Structures are given as C-alpha cells and as structure tokens.
C-alpha cells in the first residue's frame, strides 16, 4: 500500500454551531462525512478542498482545544496553495471572510493574501510565482 505524508488541520468552532457553509462557498470544499449532536449542531465534519482534507470540530468544555472566539485571536494560519490566488480570495470575501491582507506579489516569490473566516481562523491563500 502506497502512502504519502499530508496535513489534516482540525479547526475548532463554538459548540452549538449549525452552519459551516462558508467553507463550501469560499473554497468549494466537499463534505466527506458529518457527525452531529442530538440538537443537530456540528460535532465533527470532514471536508476537502481539491483533495486536501481538514476537519471542523466543536470545542468541548475542559478540552485542550479552543475555538478562536474564546481566545479573541487565532494561534495558527492555514496556508492554502492554489492556482488562482485572486479568484479564491474574492470567493472567500464574497462568502463573508474578513480581509487581513489583500492579494500581493512579494519579492520573495509568492503571491499571497490572508483572510479570517467567520469562526476566526486565519487562511493564507498563496501561490509560488
């Protein structure tokens, strides 16, 4: 069996969250599976952006993991490499993302932008140029 190394970030959201459609609207993410709580709120969802898997998970009380809203900031930035930075950036903004940095070509050879999703997670949308 052939395997490869991959990252699958787990993004924490507030308990009781019902809607994570931002990820489908912004990134075209496809849902692989979902486990819901009795009240239909999200416990965990596995999504993929063009095959890149990530998870959305509710923040549980007394857990080591916190959603950005409890900290009033994010402690990580998800770097997402795409073919068309401006297109994905604009899609994110149209879906409700907050602009942190607009699309910029940097002298170190990357086109990058940064958004904050509705749950407070930071995403650096980028491409090597």
Residue 36 structure tokens: 């819901």
* 52-58 and 42-49 beta bridge pairing: antiparallel
Distances (CA, A) of 6 to 9, 27, 51, 54, 94: 10, 19, 11, 10, 29
**What is the pLDDT confidence band of residue 3, given thresholds at 50, 70 and 90?**
confident
Q: Specify the pLDDT at position 62.
A: 86
| Strand residue runs (E) in 14-121 | 30-36, 42-49, 52-58, 77-81, 98-105, 110-116
Return mean pLDDT, the chain. 94
Q: Specify the pLDDT at position 120.
A: 96
- Region 16-36: what's the mean pLDDT? 97
Q: Specify the pLDDT at position 70.
A: 87
Nearest-10 Cα torsion for 18, 24, 29, 30? 70
Q: Which CATH architecture has domain 10-128?
A: Roll (3.10)
Q: Specify the pLDDT at position 1.
A: 64
Secondary structure letter of residue 27 according to DSSP: H
- Exposed, middle or buried: residue 85 (CB in 10 Å: 0-12, 13-18, 19+)? buried
Q: Specify the pLDDT at position 94.
A: 98
- Assign 111 to helix, strand or coil: strand
- The tens digit of pLDDT for each residue in 47-75 reads 999 999 999 999 988 888 889 988 888 88
Reply yes or no on whether the pLDDT at 124 is more than 90. yes
């Amino acid at each position: 069996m052939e395997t490869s190394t991959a990252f699958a970030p787990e993004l924490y959201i507030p308990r009781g969250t019902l809607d994570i459609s931002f990820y489908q609207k912004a990134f075209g993410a496809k849902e692989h599976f979902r486990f819901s709580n009795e009240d239909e709120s999200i416990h965990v969802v596995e999504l993929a952006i063009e095959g890149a898997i990530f998870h959305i998970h509710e923040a549980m009380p007394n857990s080591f993991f916190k959603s950005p809203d409890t900290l009033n900031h994010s402690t990580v930035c998800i770097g997402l490499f795409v073919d068309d930075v401006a297109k994905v950036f604009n899609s994110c903004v149209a879906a409700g993302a907050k602009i942190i940095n607009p699309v910029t070509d940097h002298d170190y050879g990357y086109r990058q932008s940064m958004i904050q999703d509705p749950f407070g997670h930071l995403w650096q949308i980028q491409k090597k140029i």
